Chains A and B, each alone.
Chain A
């Protein structure tokens, strides 16, 4: 690479109580380079990026920008220095419009009074979104967007900043294949203009597609930097995890048991159309759908969060009415939400979060039993490899992937019979993914029925016993295990 060094970080160090999140990390970035940053959950990736974007102070170390040492004070200062970031835990304001979020703090002004130029705001937002090739109305409120759309809005916000250094923390975790491709296309365009990108992801397959060099962090230490040509998946995993990993998709065949769930003609006007499905004991039913296919609305109706207009639901052969999550849980449902922020209680500890949906069983006469809570939590912290300085850490202080594991553990702990997992592996590292799949197998082996909503084709194909494809609020195709290919599924996912 002949281009010049744009950013160098030396000896970056950062500690939280009980965690050495970054241990003297050195890092450099060239003009026009896309540099992938990898590491297990809690390795320190987000911490490093937040230090570069001015949203966290470092404890020690030096940052030089084009040969000049700088002290990055806050995100606005970072932006003035030409650094913009897409945060892992999206930083949008739900109650305001997409356009306002994109231009937050930089809204176009109209002379002479300095009032906001709304027409300009919306048309510029429209342009940026068009460049991204996404169909989101800039006037829509962020609250009403799906996870993927929020992520695209966040990316649009960073792109609108016209920066020289772009920090992307898991920008594609909620995006479909197609949207990811479009983002890559845009990134390559920026790259030609000399923009440098640091790109964090847990999708190893993306590394050769988009990056030129890869840096791996483990437990806050830099393990090494490689050009992508030398960075095959096995090497990267060894660097990230420190050992070889076994089978990625440990699928075991489980005999199908009784019927657990039957849905007949579930309809929500204008959103979900006449959905029918059955789920059996020991079965993993994959529902594959792209953004806006209706996966999440379907899960919310099934779990009693939202109402359906017509249709029938049978659990164990009995017709049931589900009008609240409490009732759904009573009937044996569990629901891992797509947005983990929705499902976690940030101020409560890991054990309290894990046991929250099972407190009725764990408590005696309404009194907490801390020892049992601790035991349950310890089990899942161990099994899922939740990386935390102490068991009673509040979940708001965990890294994104570790929060996801806590959210997952809550439903493993609740002994639900019917589990609805919406993107269960979103943002979790390779080692933990295999562990989650192993747990799903175990659960299926114990007779639990799992509905796995996912936009990850390889995961659905590898793990599901049966796959329903969803598009435009309807099921468009059904495949038995081993029958459909990625192309088949994709074809039915995009038809209207």
Chain B
């Protein structure tokens, strides 16, 4: 064990962190770039509040699935849980009153568990499975709602403004984020999930019940999505939507990969996803402020996903992403 000279320690740690978290550099770079390009419009409280709002949306959708990505699978069901959950709340409102909102986390939990069981037992690729489920949930939502967005105003208080310019949904998202990080970094289940994603056979040989923990990962994903959707429901307008917005599906995926959770699994997780979500939100906002057509912005976002997948899968200069 060698100790580098003392005065070098701090810069060393800094350089190391930046090397393993290249997204931080990207984030700083984009903030500087946009601040320089349009100082009047980018550096405003209103703009930051808008960025935070999108950060919340991305994070609450991406948090759970990023646990599944650590195992090397994919979970695309999040938007479906939010949509179907919303319409169930509208349906239940006259019967169960204010308790109706609890149907969303319940739906998330059950959905995640079912996906896990089907995936483990039938060995269907999780991508196809969860994509089909997303489309199915969308179909059920459209049917139940009769094709109209159904608004439920009762829960607006959840996201009512407390501090000027600071979205209340952001405050709510903090404990959820911390809980996700805690599960992955401070519990046995989290360690097992990383182990399975990194080396499934090795995990099994260490006595880990691989199937059980894969199911658990999907269940956790569904649960976090469901809890997040309780905030997202009022945050995104308090209406049960009937249109599937592709942006809501792609954005969280970009956030996960951009944050540095490789799709092959084994490393990364929620603590990285929030970095990815913040960067994505900044880029998106910055591009919208530009004179580009919204379509052009979509194109650039697509490119961003490709670039982050390439960088994420190859690592930067031999540094694998933690």
User: Which positions in A face B, CB cutoff 8 Å?
Assistant: 17-20, 303, 305, 324-326, 328-330, 335, 337, 341-348, 352, 356-357, 359-360, 363, 366-368, 388-390, 394, 396, 410
Contacts and interface: CB of A to CB of B under 8 A. Distances in A.
A368 B12 CA distance: 29
Nearest to A20: B2
A359 B189 CA distance: 10
Contact of B205 (A335, A359, A368, A394): A335
B260 to A, nearest CB: 13
B202 A343 contact: yes
A347 B264 CA distance: 12
B146 interface: no
Contacts of B16: 17
A347 B194 contact: yes
Most buried by B among A303, A341, A345, A366: A345
A58 to B, nearest CB: 13
A360 B187 CA distance: 11
Given A18-B4, A389-B1, A389-B2, A325 B202 contact: no
Given A305-B205, A343-B202, A366 B187 contact: yes
B187 A325 contact: no
A348 B189 contact: no
B314 interface: no
Interface string B8-33: 00001000100000000000000000
15 contacts: A18-B1, A20-B2, A324-B204, A325-B204, A325-B206, A326-B209, A346-B199, A347-B197, A348-B191, A348-B198, A359-B188, A366-B188, A368-B187, A389-B1, A394-B322
Given A342-B205, A344-B202, A359 B191 contact: yes
B243 interface: no
Given A368-B191, A410-B206, 18 more contacts: A17-B12, A17-B16, A18-B1, A18-B2, A303-B205, A326-B207, A345-B195, A345-B206, A346-B199, A347-B198, A348-B191, A356-B195, A357-B207, A366-B187, A367-B188, A368-B188, A389-B2, A394-B322
Top 5 A-B pairs ranked by shortest CB distance?
Answer: A329-B207, A347-B198, A347-B266, A326-B207, A356-B206
A348 B185 CA distance: 11
Contact of A345 (B186, B187, B199, B207): B199
Given A357-B206, A367-B188, A368-B187, A348 B194 contact: yes
A104 B207 CA distance: 36
> In the complex, which range does the number of interface residues on chain B fall in?
20 to 34
Nearest to A388: B1
A19 B189 contact: no
A400 to B, nearest CB: 16
Contacts of A366: 187-189
Nearest to A56: B318
B267 A347 contact: yes
A20 B202 CA distance: 30
B205 A343 contact: yes
A326 B208 contact: yes
B259 to A, nearest CB: 16
B201 interface: yes
B178 to A, nearest CB: 14
Contacts of B186: 367-368
A376 to B, nearest CB: 14
A345 B197 CA distance: 9
Contacts of B198: 345-348
Contacts of A368: 186-188, 190-191
A356 B203 CA distance: 8
B201 A342 contact: yes
Contacts of A341: 199, 202
B320 interface: yes
B191 A344 contact: no
Given A348-B195, A389-B2, A325 B207 contact: yes
Contacts of B191: 348, 352, 356, 359, 368
A388 B1 CA distance: 6
A337 B205 contact: yes
Nearest to B4: A18
B11 to A, nearest CB: 12
A410 B203 CA distance: 12
A330 B206 CA distance: 11
A19 B203 CA distance: 29
A20 B228 CA distance: 46
Nearest to B2: A20
Contacts of A329: 206-207
Contacts of B2: 18-20, 389
Nearest to B198: A347
Contacts of B197: 347
A18 B9 CA distance: 10
Contacts of A305: 204-205
Interface in B169-220: 186-192, 194-195, 197-199, 201-209
Nearest to A407: B202
Contact of A344 (B4, B199, B267, B320): B199
Contacts of B203: 345, 356
Contacts of B267: 347
B118 to A, nearest CB: 22
Contacts of B207: 325-326, 328-330, 357
Contacts of B190: 368
Nearest to B3: A18
A343 B199 CA distance: 8
Contacts of A389: 1-2
Nearest to B70: A347
A359 B193 CA distance: 13
B320 A345 contact: no
Interface string B107-133: 000000000000000000000000000
A106 B149 CA distance: 60
Nearest to B192: A359
A179 to B, nearest CB: 26
A425 B285 CA distance: 57
A378 B92 CA distance: 56
Most buried by B among A325, A329, A410: A325
A17 B17 CA distance: 11
A360 B202 CA distance: 17
Contacts of A363: 187-188
A219 to B, nearest CB: 8
A366 B182 CA distance: 12
Nearest to A344: B202
Contacts of B189: 366
A245 B51 CA distance: 64
A116 B202 CA distance: 36
A404 to B, nearest CB: 14
A367 B187 contact: yes
A352 B189 CA distance: 13
